[in-house]
Every structure is written in C-alpha cells, then in structure tokens.
Amino acid sequence: MKLDKKDVQILKLLSQNCRTPTGHIAKKIGMSRESTHYRIQRLVEKKVITNFTISVDYQKLGFLHHIIFLSFQNAKDMDALVKKIISHPLVGWTTLTPGKWNLIYDVFTQDMSQLDQYLSDLKKQMFNLINEFELTTQLEMDVFPSRYFSSTQGKISKSKKKEIKIQLKEKDIEIIKILSYDARIDLRSISKKINISFPTLKKRMTNLENSGIIKNYTIHFDQDKIGIQRYYAQFNIYGNSLQEEKKFIAYIKSHPNVSSFVRPAVQTSIEVGIFAKNPLEFKKIMNEIRKVYGHVFEIEKIMLLYAEPRGNIIPPGLFPLLLEKL
C-alpha cells in the first residue's frame, strides 16, 4: 500500500491521540468523515496500523522495567526461541536485530527478586541455546511516536496539570487492560464490558490520565510499510558538567528523528531510538549529533531493529499482579 499525504496526516494525528474522533480528524485534514473513516479502516486492514494502544507509566504501576539483549548459539532455532520468549507473561515489546545480538526485549517485574527468578528460569530452559546475554534496568523512558510522521523539530510537551495520586481499584485495572488491546474502543462498550456507568468510567479514565498512569493513546505500525528503519543507539556520557549533560539530553529528546529516550539505572549512559529512511540518512543524523555534542559522549553500541514479533503492548502477566496488590 502506497501512503499519500492524507494517510500520513491521519497516522500522525492517531499517533498523537488514537482516541481522537473520526470527525475531528476529518476536519483537520480537510476530508469528509466518511472518507476519513474509510482511510483509517484501510490502514488497519492493510496492517499499516497494527494496534491502537496506550502508553503507561510502569513505575507508577509498581513495576521495574528491564531490557534484555540475547544472542543465540544457532540462528536456525531463532524462530522457535523467540516464540517461547514472547509467550512469557512478563515479556513486552520485542525486536529482532542483526549483528552481535539477535533479540532485544522488555521484561517487567515487581522487584529484583522476581527478575532473578525470571533469569534463573530463562537460563534453565535455554542454557545450551543462549550465546551471550546482557541486561539493563530503566529509570526513565519517554516515547515520541508522532515524530515518525512529522519533519518538524520535536518539543517535549509537559502537562501543565498537576499530577494527582490515585489508589488503583479493580475497575481501573480492567480499563487499562481493555485499552491496552484496543485504545480506540468507544467508551459505552467499555462501560458495558466492566459493568459501570458511563459517567463513572469517564471519571476513572480522567483520573488515570491525570495521575500519569496513562501517558497517551497511540498506535503501533509496520515500519516497513511507512518506509522507515529503526535503530537503537547507546551513548556513554563522559564526566562533563551536569549542565552540559542536561543540554545534551535535552538536545537528544528534542531531535526530530529520536523516537524514544531511555535512562538506565547506570547513570553514565542513555539509550535512544532513532529512525531514518535509509542507512545514509541515519549516518547523517549520527554525524549531526557528533558535530554538536561529540565531546559529551562516546557510542557504546548501534543496532538496526528490523522486525517486531511482539508490539509494545502491556504484558498480560502484569494484570494479575496488579490485582494481587489491591
């Protein structure tokens, strides 16, 4: 499917907020509601859009976020191994990559003890199959999905509303679960599914948003079908002044080709998602970053991310753990 300007505009608006009503999108792009609805359906049917979902703050839900890098002894076994790994209830987003590592994926745990148990089980099941292993635990993560569809300089938008603290209830967890699989579902359908009134549902969703637990409503998409390549870069930061480090991080976060920013527990490095149309454009982006802040960092690793066996959906195993905390 070849995307035109209107398709890209729709994708950008949905990536900013996939709950935006079709009529509002139609007005913004200058099309009829019917034509806009048809285009959205076509983007879904052609699997350009693979899912409407939510981004959540895992720390506020009480979970630690880890990223695991794996390489396998035999690439022939990779498909079966990947299927086994992503079937685990604590595993989230996964991506394949060529080079030293074969697989990168997210794991979420309640504490380090649960992580130790997961790693112990992983090693027992795949002791003879794993060649190398690496893990980082994340302190901070920001994602900027709408930049894939915009060439303008990114700005970090911070809500002016003061975040509220809420005590999660069973209905809140049900709402999060439903929205993680279909964030564009209409509210009355959610109301019926979990048996609460429409006004109560709206209030609960507003509280989840204002607490920062629900960060945004967005889309997942097929990177090949929108014509981009995604890269992972890890920068080690030199012993510069705190002010210089802050400037570098602000620059990275606002770069129009940066799609994600992660600050691991090891404070001397940052992990960045970068997208480009091709390797040549990626090289230009990296040269541009070096030219401005090459004195601040050194590159630890760069990897091409070429496929996602599992999108960035909340792992199903987190919901029973959330219910246990009530």
Same domain, 254 and 145: yes
- CATH code at position 265: 3.30.70.920
Same domain, 146 and 282: yes
Whether 85 maps to a domain, the answer reads no
Query: What share of residues in the chain are helix, strand, coil (percent, to 5)?
Result: 40, 25, 30
Same domain, 146 and 23: no
Asked if 133 contacts 263 with a C-beta cutoff of 8 angstroms, the reply is no
Per-residue pLDDT reduced to its tens digit, 102-117 = 999 999 999 999 999 9
Whether 236 maps to a domain, the answer reads yes
What pTM does this model have?
Answer: 0.90
Asked if 167 contacts 322 with a C-beta cutoff of 8 angstroms, the reply is no
Whether 96 maps to a domain, the answer reads no
Whether 133 maps to a domain, the answer reads no
For 18-56, the DSSP string reads TTS-HHHHHHHHT--HHHHHHHHHHHHHTTSEEEEEEEE
Whether 244 maps to a domain, the answer reads yes
The pLDDT assigned to 161 comes to 64
Q: Counting beta carbons within 10 angstroms of the beta carbon of residue 111, is it exposed (0 to 12), middle (13 to 18) or buried (19 or more)?
A: exposed
Per-residue pLDDT reduced to its tens digit, 200-257 = 999 999 999 999 999 999 999 999 999 999 999 999 998 778 888 899 999 999 999 9
Q: How many domains does the chain have?
A: 2
- CATH code at position 41: 1.10.10.10
Q: State mean pLDDT over 42-49.
A: 96
Range of the domain at 298: 141-150+224-308
Same domain, 145 and 13: no
Q: Which helix (H) or strand (E) holds 111?
A: none
Whether 290 maps to a domain, the answer reads yes
Same domain, 257 and 146: yes
Same domain, 251 and 145: yes
In the numeric block, the tokens 């595993």 are attached to: 91
CA separation for the pair 175, 191 (Å, rounded): 9
Same domain, 282 and 145: yes
Q: Which of 13, 31, 46 is the last residue in one of the domains?
A: 46
Per-residue pLDDT reduced to its tens digit, 286-297 = 999 999 999 999
The pLDDT assigned to 151 comes to 54
Whether 257 maps to a domain, the answer reads yes
Whether 291 maps to a domain, the answer reads yes
Same domain, 39 and 145: no
Same domain, 14 and 146: no
For the chain, state the CA radius of gyration: 20
